Structure 1
């Protein structure tokens, strides 16, 4: 391969990575929408964007929710009380949970790409408060369209 096309390809790849946004989500004991929440609790982002989960209050983490993850996407699990930054490359809908507070409804939804939040199939195994919280998030997300 001639040098010039290789340099062009490398520059294109680097520019694409540089255009990716970093979105911040706070993990809170109490926020605008109640107790044990992520703020914001819904994000619509582009493939390749990153989300930084900030441990604003103690005893929280961010982890992908089994059963609400796009096919081919890698699951993730942050440690309690630690910031984690995740790159979302695979388009689709991601359910996020705080493992210690799932039963209290500490969940959020991340939409990567064009798939609409109205297409979410919530896992049947969700605790009641988590399911109710996802339903509130979905209602707000769908009313934005």
Structure 2
């Protein structure tokens, strides 16, 4: 009887685990707090298994991972223009995200999944000039927050 009860409790615990995952909404906007062509928020920290729902705030945007700015082995994703998508992030690491048509205009964001340190190689990944400026601003905010702890 105890073995059956333990098996039921374990099965229930495993089935309920996804219920603890969180979904964060990120809006894709023509204009926001940080200027034009932005994701809001532009930096999100997640636990493995959490998701982001990319919402179309204005038309002509999408969300896509940036090649070379994802954890090793991550296949990446690319939403269609004007498509609201939900992406679950299971792998610990940093993820650079772009709006494909507005990447050169600096429409990027950063996602941190789990407890991980940002590497210099990630910080120096090759991206267009305006995207570089936005990423550098995000990195600076992260560094300030870490120094304040």
- Distance of 1:61 and 1:37 partners within structure 2: 11
Match of 2:26 in 1: 25
- Distance of 1:108 and 1:73 partners within structure 2: 17
Q: Could you tell me how far 1:79 is from its partner in structure 2?
A: 0.7
- Distance of 1:111 and 1:22 partners within structure 2: 14
Which deviates the most, 45-54 or 112-121?
112-121
- TM-score normalised by structure 2 residue count: 0.89
- TM-score normalised by structure 1 residue count: 0.92
CA RMSD of superposed structures (Å): 1.5
* Structure 1 consecutive aligned stretches of length 4 or more whose deviation exceeds 4 Å: 2-6
Q: Could you tell me how far 1:116 is from its partner in structure 2?
A: 3.0
What whole-Å deviation, never above 9, does each CA across 1:94-132 have from its counterpart, x for those lacking one? 0000000000000000000011346533322x1111111
Aligned residues: 143
Structure 2 runs not aligned, ≥5 long: none
After superposition, residues 7-22 of structure 1 pair within 5 angstroms as 7-22=8-23
What whole-Å deviation, never above 9, does each CA across 1:79-101 have from its counterpart, x for those lacking one? 10010000000000000000000
Structure 1 runs not aligned, ≥5 long: none
- Distance of 1:31 and 1:47 partners within structure 2: 28
Aligned in 2, Cα 1:82/1:11: closer, same or farther, shift over 3 Å? same
Match of 2:124 in 1: 122
Q: Aligned to 1:23, what secondary structure does the other structure show? A: strand
- Distance of 1:42 and 1:95 partners within structure 2: 10
